[in-house]
Structure 1
């Protein structure tokens, strides 16, 4: 089959595997995005609350039933689904009903949390807009599943396109797509959260970098700029991080080339300007739209989502938390060093050969995962989803390590034929 057919085959296989978990993938924040999307679809506040709470509680009940079925003490007990479902609905409606009765009815989201916290999600319409057609076509349960599978499959296809733009062999490109699906990128992208779109849009910007460096500067610049604009609607902090990272990496490449007496290159300059413009535009537009600031995000972190009084000296506490977080994070990574090993291999693959400029830009895009984690130094946030963007470095870099082997395998038979003919004579 042609490589494009294999791209579709890998995506379909990945989608079929996700049927193992149609429900139970949600997080507390998933309810906010779902209720926002239902509101955009035209549902009233109460109607959106009913659908969202039912979806969240059905997922909780499904997880509880699966856990009990393999619990060595309780596996023989009655199915807990009905009990867990009723308790969840009672808890959620008690919370939401009280907030609605108190007048917290503004915005698009159902008030699952204090109003200050919900403002963070009101500033992120991109993911709810993405959900609307899936919810309309397939309903809530299958719509949320289909949206996650679609954006995750698209991310894998983008990995293939990036590596193909770098002139990598088809097998190498397909390897990158497969790695995206089997590493935490795929698992996290399917989850009903913004990370799937963040990964896909960041990969779109990386594809734009590859096109710009390949001489297709206009198309590449438009992709980078469009991805940054879309990221602003999904999570404006990621647009800021990615814009700054690409601008800094591009400036580093330009300075290094000029010191060596080489031209900067139109593609690198274009990516640098696009990144800087995206970062500046993000800061300006976020201020004009009165999006929650970094100070508000910091208070959210240190007060447990505004459940406690605001901290009087948040920044010193934040830096103290950083000093405690990263040694503990590193200790856990050394215990299971797959992530660190994958990062090292990805950096090695990306820095080899004539693609070093792209490798620097790719590493810069992946570093936004570290920046996101640094902005939320909470060791217990859902298994590393905040740093998931860093996995893009091994996803794109590791396949490039295999490129010499694949090119050698293809070239070897052609080199052997003359020798064999000569020996027969």
Structure 2
């Protein structure tokens, strides 16, 4: 089956992406998080900048963003909106603060690696193990400069996520209107906002959706294309954030096993899988093994190091002597507080439930795979149970569930209208064996 959009559908995809990109001009700066400067300095280093130049460009970008936000906040402050602009003061104070720490560490000899030493060498090793996003960012900041290079790369990553959502839905034989709804949902839900920030989360969303697209292709019987997409996505994820590659590989392997048990038996789950899904399951399982071995061979920070980073506030205090009991205590408290906050404003829980219902009702086999992709967001958050981390970015991958599931929930209402709008020919199917 050819899932490439027909010309009218392709035009709508481009228009939707262009409208989203134009709206992002409202916030060109001020989107960075504390981690953004580490990735940006890495990208500048890949482009040939020395430590001092990379530090100067990164600090200026971060401080310009802070100054812009300060000015905007002041302009709507009921007591200070008529006061002089704080832009210059905030910029200079930020610049002085950032250079103070960087200069001290550079003088102390912390000059190895690609990143500028904004924090201790032990903490910066975490970012040295994530070259994927800086490698993507490097050509943009080299050609367009830091400000517009960061913005343009973020727009393209986010636009790509929406297009991938469209392709996943079209591969599942959803009408064009439903697929366009999925693209729009990616842009307007928190996944779009988070993907626009100069961090790894946008790429994590894109690569997870690419892997899910491969799974959808496998359900359609296209083993080669599906396995290549899944394997390529997991390989790319390793360069962006290797723990996420491990999570997705484990979850997709488990999902294939669940589908096998559903159609076969617990003793012989492989009999319940079509050959393409067997290949996808084998690729995902192989990726888990390769990820673990490669991370050890490259001496990437281990889970115990990540645990100490969490519990010591980025190594600001001595290591914990009993980290695991403290971690489990924090984990339990975190999820209680997280659930309390979500019940206070239950939009996210409602969207997740509706998405799960939609995909489970219309595409039960793919529902298992989609839930596996969403589960990686929960695992990522569980590995970092810190309620103060910048927004809900760590759990953002759960939003792939409503992005794909909600359009499928609306599919029955949309399908009569979609008959003249490039509906995919052929039966609407949940997998290669079952037709409705």
TM-score interval, normalised by the smaller of the two chains = over 0.9
Residue 120 of structure 2 is aligned to residue 80 of structure 1: no
Match of 1:112 in 2: 118
Consecutive unaligned residues in structure 2, runs of 5 or more: 1-6, 421-436
Check conservation: 2:264, 2:272, Cα contact below 8 A: yes
| Pair 1:238-2:277 in alignment | no
Structure 1 position 258 matched with structure 2 position 264 = yes
Q: Hey, what does 2:102 align to over in structure 1? A: 96
1:171 aligns with 2:180: no
Is the 8 Å Cα contact of residues 321 and 377 (structure 1) preserved in structure 2?
Answer: yes
Asked if the contact 2:176/2:418 (under 8 Å) is kept, the reply is: no
Answer whether contact 2:38 2:127 (CA < 8 A) is retained.
Answer: yes
| Correspondence for 1:421 | none
Determine if contact 2:230/2:284 at 8 Å carries over to the other structure: yes
Equivalent residue, structure 2, for 1:423: none
Alignment counterpart, residue 50 of structure 1, candidates 46, 50, 56: 56
CA contact (8 A) 2:39 2:115 kept: yes
Gaps of 5+ in 1: 413-425
Among residues 278, 287, 310, which one is paired with 1:301 in the alignment? 310
1:309 aligned counterpart, secondary structure: coil
Is 1:18 the equivalent of 2:24? yes
CA drift of 1:267 comes to 2.2
Q: Shift of residue 76 of structure 1?
A: 1.2
CA separation in 2, counterparts of 1:411 and 1:202? 30
Quote the offset at 1:411 in angstroms.
6.5
- Within the candidate set 19, 32, 35, 2:38 is matched to 32
SS in 1 for 2:394: coil
Q: Looking at both structures, which has the greater relative contact order when contacts are Cα pairs under 8 Å and sequence separation is at least 6? A: 2
**Pairs aligned (count):** 411
Taking the aligned partners of 1:6 and 1:364, their CA distance within structure 2 comes to 30
1:120-135 equivalence runs, <5 A: 120-135=126-141
Residue 410 of structure 1: how far off its partner (Å): 5.2
**C-alpha contact (below 8 Å) 1:350/1:396 kept by paired residues:** yes
Are 1:275 and 2:281 matched, yes or no?
A: no
Q: 1:64 & 1:411 partners in 2: Cα distance?
A: 51
Give the match for residue 294 of structure 2: 285
Q: Aligned-pair distance for 1:406?
A: 1.7
Q: CA deviation at 1:383?
A: 1.2
2:318 paired with 1:312: no
Higher gyration radius (CA) = 1
**TM-score, normalising length: structure 2:** 0.93
* 1:207 equivalent in alignment to 2:213: yes
Q: Is the 8 A contact 1:176 1:396 kept in 2?
A: yes
CA separation in 2, counterparts of 1:256 and 1:397? 20
Q: By how many angstroms is 1:85 displaced?
A: 0.6
Partner of residue 192, structure 2:
186
**Counterpart among 348, 361, 380 of residue 369 in structure 2:** 361
Q: Which has the higher helix share?
A: 1
2:374 corresponds to 1:375: no
**Taking structure 1 as the reference length, what is the TM-score of the superposition?**
0.95
